[in-house]
Amino acid sequence: MRLDRRTMLGGLLTGAAAALAPAGSRAEDKDPPPAASVEAIEVDAKPIAHFDRRQPDTTRFGPLEFRGGLVLTSASSDFGGWSGLVVAPDGKSLLAISDAGTWMTAELAYDRDRPQGLGNVRLGPIPDSGGRPLESKKDADAEAVALLEGNLQNGTLLIGFERNHRIVRHPVRAGIIQPPAGTLSLPADARRMPANRGIEALTVLQGGRYKGAIVAFAERFTPSSGYHTGWLWIDGGEAQRLQLQDIDGFNITDAAAMPDGSLIVLERYFRWTEGVKMRLRHISAAEFGPGRQMTARTLFEGSGSSFEIDNMEGLALHRGAGGESILTLVSDDNFNHLLQRTLLLQFMLRDERAGAVPSDRT
């Protein structure tokens, strides 16, 4: 979802597969989008040397260790609005989706463990069932993405859209997103999500009791309950409700699955009087489950006045060379290059059992 500031400024973005209903002819039988619709672009990357402006030498934030970050810019008018993220298991490539109905793939270069830049960057439109770009904002507002099966070259993605609320299965062939091959059946209460507060978090569980199940959370759907609403699809069955405690009015913007069956949830808060904030919470595998009212542990919370953060909307997880969990985050600049930035941040989760961390809250 785009932050309120853009509107106010006025111009100053297996089993799981069985749950997907058919959507007409299969995308595998269609011709891929024409090569002309896929654009190679250049992306400049300025390193972020220090995450904490107040203590530039600090790299450890409770269980998180800052590995590095980048400020990304491009001359392409289609670059921006990145709202969902997938990183390959080896951390060397990524796919992002934009709330303007665009996808981006890139190779992620490193200087030792620090992100250094993006190479071989390609942009393309998320296609409709006829292979044409999604035109209207109502249909093109993609906010979440997850890899259901395969890889980023040849696999299957789930893409979550708000306004016209839906979760769509898109095959990927030769690194290009194909027309949809099915949709996930949403529960009746999901149809009551606010138009601009729909599905923002989407992931596939990587371990534990519910391995392979699909998880989705709305950005803000808390019908007088004090809990965010999410859903769990197990082995192709009907969606089962999840609830995550709403703390201090933060909105959910993404989630990433851990190998043990737990979840990391990314949250964002914005007020003109307070600026933008970011929070990461960990839902343990023991706490997670259908029908649960979950609390989760805060791993990090900070504001843009102290830390190098912006409108953080995309979250992905991969394993490092030593088996460590690496979190990658990307921000949605709302195509507002004057006031916002596209940031890519990486952290290593050093102690996945560590307690809550101090933040910059006073």
The CATH code of the domain that includes 319 is 2.115.10
CA–CA dist 20, 338 (Å, integer): 41
pLDDT value at residue 12: 29
The residue ranges of the chain whose pLDDT is under 70 are 1-36, 351-362
- pLDDT of 97: 98
359 domain residue, yes or no:
no
Contact 332, 81 (CB under 8 A): yes
Tens of pLDDT, residues 310-354: 999 999 999 998 899 999 999 999 999 899 999 999 999 986 554
User: What is the three-class DSSP state of 213?
Assistant: coil
- How far apart CA 344 and CA 362 sit, in angstroms, is 27
Q: Given the DSSP bridges, would you call strands 293-294 and 312-319 parallel, antiparallel or unpaired? A: unpaired
- Nearest CA to 163 out of 142, 133, 186, 188 is that of 142
Would 21 be classed as within a structural domain?
yes
Phi, psi of 313 (to 5 degrees): -125, -25
Measured CA to CA, the distance from residue 1 to residue 142 in angstroms comes to: 9
pTM score > 0.85 for this model?
yes
Q: Is residue 322 part of a domain?
A: yes
Sign of torsion, CA 297 302 307 310?
positive
User: Two tokens at 88?
Assistant: 């390959």
Range of the domain at 242: 4-349
Q: Is 355 helix (H, G, I), strand (E, B) or coil?
A: coil
SS3 193: coil
> How many distinct structural domains can be found in the chain?
1
- 219-255: burial string, b at 16+ Cβ within 10 Å, e else: bbbbeeeebbbbbbbbebeebbebbbebbeebbbbbb
What tokens were used for 194?
Answer: 């606010």
Q: Report the distance separating Cα 318 and Cα 259, nearest Å.
A: 10
